[in-house]
Amino acid sequence: MSDWIRVCDTGELLPGEKTVAWDGDTPILVVNLDGEYYALEDQCSHEDYELSAGEVDPGAATIECTLHGAKFDLRDGRALCAPAHAPVAKFPVKVEDGAVWTRDDR
């Protein structure tokens, strides 16, 4: 298990915005939903494609994969519609020292 990695200052990730951080070889999508931060592996569970290229719907707390349109719940990584059925990995997030942190805790 790796240490926490610093994603960005809290002021750099505003509500509705997303960014990508790397923990070693793992790309992590970090999203601010109305002041709450969530982190998922930045990889669609349908095919090897980055979720962060997709559109965030802050109201529904979802992100849509741009490749084939699968949607995932940003809060827990659950797949919400075909063609994806498996969830994407969810990672912990914390706010400390004015910054957002996450890590691949698998």
CA–CA gap between residue 23 and residue 43 (Å, rounded): 14
The piece of 1-9, 15-23, 42-50, 95-103 that touches ligand FES (CB under 6 A) is 42-50
- Figure out which of the listed residues 44, 63, 74, 100 binds ligand FES, where binding follows CB under 6 A: 44
Around Cβ 32, how many Cβ atoms within 10 Å? Answer: 22
Is there binding between residue 87 and ligand FES (CB under 6 A)?
Answer: no
46/103 with CB nearer ligand FES: 46
The string of DSSP letters for 13-29 reads S-TT-EEEEEETTEEEE
13/79 with CB nearer ligand FES: 79
Q: Could you tell me if 47 and 71 are in contact, meaning their C-beta atoms sit under 8 angstroms apart?
A: no
Give, as ranges, the residues between 2 and 41 that touch ligand FES (CB under 6 A): none
